[in-house]
Structures are given as structure tokens and as C-alpha cells.
Structure 1
Amino acid sequence: MNILKITLLAFSLILSAGVTSSMAYAEETASDSSSNISEAIAHIEQAIAEIQKSDFNTARVHLKAARASAEKISGHEDVVKKANGLVIQGQIKTKKGDIKNSSADLTQALELYKSL
């Protein structure tokens, strides 16, 4: 009887540890996603500022970093996909030196990321 009690106690401890660890993982994922959104927003804002100064090389670095941060965002896949498409279009237009249109695309992407 004593072995049965010990076995049941060990089993219940294992189950409770498994439940709490999965909850901690879910909280960690949510906070990581919000920090990735913040990083993407910050990089896009810096890229827009650099484009306005006609510093296209630095702007491209910020846009690459924004795309890398955006790839780590979980949830809202449709919004993230649309925003990433706008960032890519902004990159292409930045490469061509089109200040007006690249700023417009990046501003739209920024609004989408802020809506998350």
C-alpha cells in the first residue's frame, strides 16, 4: 500500500510540473512576440528617417533587421505577411533611390505592425 501511495504522489508531481512548464512557455512566447514587434517597428522608423536623409545603405541595414525581427513574430500571420511584403517593396524602392514611394510603403508597414 505504501508503494502505491508513493507512486501516485510521484505521478501527480510529474503531471503538475508538466502543466506549469507549458504555461511558462506560453507566457515566454507571447512576450517574445511583442518584443519582436517592437524591434521591427523601431527598425522601420529608423529606416524611414535614414531614407529621408538619403542614407540608403543604413536604411537597407535597418530594413533587413526589421525583416529578421518580423520573421520571429507569432500569430497574426496574414497581417505580418502583408507588412513584410510592404517592407520588401520598400527595400526595392530604396535600392532604386525612390524616397517618396519607399517611405509610403514603409509607413503602411509601420501602421500594420503597430496594429498588432
Structure 2
Amino acid sequence: MDTITRRYADISLQRYVTIVQKNQAKSAQLKRRHSSVTSIFVRALARREGVKYKNMFADNWASAVTRLAGDTVHSDSTDDLLVALARSGKITTTDQLSMLVAHHRRGRV
């Protein structure tokens, strides 16, 4: 194998390692977010109250508008359950916002 081929093989190996490390970090972050105290509480509350998230036209519209604005939408099951709990009147919008902020702060740690 000549020097140039080895150099490109090393670069692609480095890229591969970088991609794998980023994916592992992202996976660990999602696991932490899913097992945060807020996430566990929200899932238990929704189960106790019999609330499930149902995607509505307004949700699809908001996602489309956000994408058209050039932003990305990243919502997980806890976000969706918080929306469902607020829509059903089981929690106030103030509580929803507080738990949403706590959930996302814990997920980034």
C-alpha cells in the first residue's frame, strides 16, 4: 500500500471513529433524558391519568412551519406526554412549561 492510500485510509478511519463516538454520545444523552426524574414522573402521571399523546393537525402544521423557517423539531415521548397532559387539563400550562424546561436541562447534562 502506498503512502497516499494509507493516508486516505487513516482519514476515513478517523472519520468513522468520530462518527461512532458522536453517535454513542448522542445515544447516551437520549438514554439520560429518557430516564430523567422528570421523564419518569411524566410517564407515571400520564399512565395514572390514562392520558396518551395523539398527534393533531395543529402539531403537523407547527412542525411544517418550523421546518419552513429553517429550524429543526426534536420532540421526544416526554415532550409529547406533557402536551397531552396539558391538553387534557391534568396539568396547567405553567406546570407543563416548568417540567419541559427541567426535562431538557437534564437531557443536556
TM-score for both structures, normalised by structure 1: 0.40
Larger Rg: 1
* Larger relative contact order (CA 8 Å, sep ≥ 6): 2
Instruction: Identify, as 1 or 2, the structure richer in helix.
Output: 1
